[in-house]
Amino acid sequence: MPAASRTPPFPLPAVLRSRQDLEARGISFLPAGAPVPTTLPIQQDGATYAMAQETAWLDDDHFAVGRWDGSLSIFRFSPGEFIGPLITTIVNSPSSEGVQMITWLTPQTFVSSNDAGSMIIWRSAPGGDWARLQQAAKLSYDASLGEANSGDAFVLGGAHYLVAGHANGFLTIWSSNTNGNNFQFVRSVDVRSARPVNPWGLHNVRGVSMVQKTDPTALVVTGSEDGDVCMVRVPDGMIVSHTVFNPDAQRGINSLATRGRDLLVANCSVGPDDKNLWYYRMDFANGTIALRDSYDLKVNPSAPQVFNFSTVWGLYQGGVCWFSSTEEGALWMGTVSGGKLSVMGYQAFTDQLGSALAFNTNGKLVMVSYNLFEFITTTAAAAVAAGDSPERVP
């Protein structure tokens, strides 16, 4: 595997790192005339949970949450009543920015980030008992590639593939038998941009999604903090295309979501003219993407930045929709109509740092920041009627 230079550690979440950069340039985050906050004569005595980095569905009723403090928890979906996690285990050190990647592999296994040179495969106990989680394997690789930040898994040509995006701008491709056992390293792929859009030279691959299979190959799309959207062929690792999502961007990609040929890209908008949600159509024949529309999901129109932390496609009673969680603590919802983004509105739920989102095609949405929110967006019967039966259970 090729070596890569290590990205300098940033102990703060990306949203706060971006705020610090703007404040250093004299940009205030306080409304005009607002009083300067003061320190209260009280002492905090702990918090229930640390900030969530990632959440992913494991089956129809269970989902995993990875947090900034390095913990990984599994919850059972129970709208209307918060019952706490079934199990919590420590996976990453907080120095590596916590658990940033959780990827479903098979009905009884998933993989998570571990440290700069490894990922962990987890297996439920017999019968799909996630409360008795077991470490099944450790996938080791060259630590210069960095922690896993994103991933996707799929079956192709009689083999099971895992594609992971890493902190230093690389993908790793792994293959196994169709049971998801004994993953072996295939190759790494350098998807770094020569001209990152962010001011720190970051290349973290924040999104990986398989978008087309034509045995014996598949196409995955990736989105990185350096601003590039790439189409990569699996398993040979050929880079089909590099596209800068927004040549005028000041921040990179935080999240991406795909559905058929539709691609959503989430980023941090800076200033009054930027946008933080972008809608593209993908052309699989030549690997290109074409911009259709963009929108700035912003509650306060004068905010100097608004981080779009996560975006996902979903379903509601009216059909296909999308959800985004933003720095202002808001959950946004909308559709695509006539090739344009249509925003239905937002609801403020949580603290102003953003939340991880995961949608299950049976009509369940989870939103996790410090707290956990669960929503029923449509009935399972409506999801089936909409033709949204997933190839992979989550």
- 248-394 belongs to CATH 3.20.20.370: no
Alpha carbons 308 and 266: distance in angstroms, whole number: 5
pLDDT in tens, 126-155: 888 999 999 999 999 999 999 999 999 999
* Domain boundaries, given as residue ranges, for the chain: 248-394
Half-sphere exposure of 347 (CA within 13 A, CB side): 6
Contact 246, 227 (CB under 8 A): yes
User: In the predicted model, what is the mean pLDDT of the chain?
Assistant: 87
pLDDT in tens, 203-245: 999 999 999 999 999 999 999 999 999 999 999 999 999 999 9
Helix, coil or strand: residue 168: coil
pLDDT category, 10, cuts 50, 70, 90? very low
pLDDT in tens, 57-93: 999 999 999 998 899 999 999 866 666 788 888 887 6
Report the pLDDT value the prediction gives residue 6, as an integer from 0 to 100: 37
For CA atoms 321, 325, 328, 331, give the dihedral sign: positive
Report the pLDDT value the prediction gives residue 40, as an integer from 0 to 100: 55
pLDDT exceeds 50 at position 393? no
pTM over 0.95: no
Alpha carbons 373 and 77: distance in angstroms, whole number: 10
In total, the chain counts a number of residues equal to 394
Cβ neighbours for 17, distance < 8 A, ≥ 6 positions apart: 10, 200
Nearest to 364 by CA among 328, 312, 318: 312
For CA atoms 277, 271, 274, 152, give the dihedral sign: negative
Report the pLDDT value the prediction gives residue 35, as an integer from 0 to 100: 54
Q: Is 304 exposed, middle or buried (0-12, 13-18, 19+ CB in 10 A)?
A: middle
